[in-house]
């Protein structure tokens, strides 16, 4: 098994994060520093990260969390601020968030130790849909603005892909996008003249936030995890 994949399966980080850890010189194999993420290893190779030996793949777990306002979507914070991982009892597993959700946004985020799944769910080529609910000002959103959001908005980092957009009530929009640019929903709304006051992610792939209380979490059932795998089964070709 490739070293980066081994680390991801062991719950160290996502596949991409594991590659960065290896290239940074933090991994040893049989006592020697290795910087090639493609190095073949197994459970008997003596793989260690920052001096801590890994015994091999741990039980894979995926949790859905309802992130509160101000909580960071990182595994840890150097300033001691609360993160989404803090909201989930680790049970000895090294968990990390799947993608990011801004500190000033709330709602559904996944936390896992399954590096392969995390990589697929966040890679742009798989186009996993994410649905957000945005409260905007001014509250009167014109049909022209809605049409622009649906067809694609010109941002400073390029035109957005078509999105599904509907106005639930005056000043409240529901947007489904397949990209993961920084602050994308906020920037899209601002581009058509509406500032986002609050932003909540209510759906990720086939998963819905539903009535999960703010700050709470639950472990996904096997069927739900399989649904996520099917959602990211193959890259979208255009």
> In CATH, what number is assigned to the domain containing residue 150?
3.30.70.1560
* 11 phi/psi in degrees, rounded to 5: 80, 20
The rounded percent of the chain whose pLDDT value lies above 90 is: 68
**Per-residue model confidence as pLDDT tens digits over 4-20:** 988 887 878 878 889 99
Domain contains 88: yes
In a domain, 238, yes or no: no
165 neighbors 175 (Cβ within 8 angstroms): yes
- For residue 236, tell me if it sits in a domain: no
How many domains would you assign to the chain? 3
**Inside any domain, residue 237:** no
- Cβ atoms of 97 and 73 within 8 Å: the answer is yes
Instruction: Find the mean pLDDT for residues 117-138.
Output: 91
Assess whether 50 carries a catalytic annotation: no
Task: Report how far apart, in Å, the C-alpha atoms of 33 and of each of 5, 15, 22, 44, 51 are.
Answer: 17, 19, 9, 16, 10
CATH number at residue 49: 3.10.290.10
How far, in Å, CA of 108 to CA of 230, rounded? Answer: 19
Instruction: Catalytic residue, from 40, 42, 77, 102: name it.
Output: 102
Give the integer Cα–Cα distance in Å for 18 and 87. 23
Residues 69 and 28 in one domain: no
Q: Are residues 80 and 189 in the same domain?
A: no
pLDDT in tens, 207-236: 999 999 999 999 999 999 999 988 877 665
Cα 159 to Cα 153, 163, 187, 224, distances in angstroms: 5, 12, 11, 33
Q: Is residue 8 part of a domain?
A: yes
Q: For residue 110, what are the domain limits?
A: 62-123+211-231
User: What CATH number is associated with residue 89?
Assistant: 3.30.70.580
pTM of the predicted structure, to 2 decimals: 0.77
Residues 145 and 196 in one domain: yes
Specify if 78 maps to a domain. Answer: yes
Q: Are residues 180 and 75 in the same domain?
A: no
Q: Both 114 and 138 in a single domain?
A: no
DSSP assignment, residue 81? -
Q: What is the pLDDT of residue 124?
A: 80
Report the alpha-carbon angle 90-91-95, nearest 5.
Answer: 35
Q: Are residues 119 and 133 in the same domain?
A: no
pLDDT surpassing 70 at residue 122: yes
- The span from the CA of 35 to the CA of 25, in Å, is 6
């Amino acid at each position: 098994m490739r070293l980066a994949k081994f680390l991801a399966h062991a719950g160290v980080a996502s596949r991409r994060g594991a590659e960065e850890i290896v290239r940074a010189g933090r991994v040893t194999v049989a006592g020697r520093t290795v910087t090639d993420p493609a190095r073949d290893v197994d459970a008997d190779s003596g793989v260690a990260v920052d001096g801590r030996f890994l015994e091999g793949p741990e039980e894979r777990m995926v949790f859905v969390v309802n992130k509160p306002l101000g909580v960071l979507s990182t595994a840890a914070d150097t300033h001691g601020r609360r993160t989404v991982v803090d909201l989930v009892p680790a049970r000895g597993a090294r968990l990390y968030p799947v993608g990011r959700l801004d500190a000033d946004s709330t709602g559904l985020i996944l936390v896992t130790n399954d590096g392969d799944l995390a990589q697929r769910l966040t890679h742009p080529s798989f186009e996993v849909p994410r649905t957000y609910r945005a409260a905007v000002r001014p509250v009167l959103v014109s049909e022209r603005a809605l049409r622009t959001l649906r067809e694609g908005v010109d941002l400073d980092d390029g035109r957005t892909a078509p999105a599904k957009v509907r106005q639930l009530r005056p000043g409240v929009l529901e947007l489904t996008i397949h990209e993961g640019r920084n602050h994308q929903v906020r920037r899209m709304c601002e581009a058509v003249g509406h500032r986002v006051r609050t932003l909540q992610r209510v759906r990720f792939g086939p998963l819905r936030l539903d009535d999960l209380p703010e700050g709470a979490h639950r472990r996904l059932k096997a069927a739900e995890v399989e649904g996520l795998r099917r959602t990211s089964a193959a890259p979208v070709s255009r």
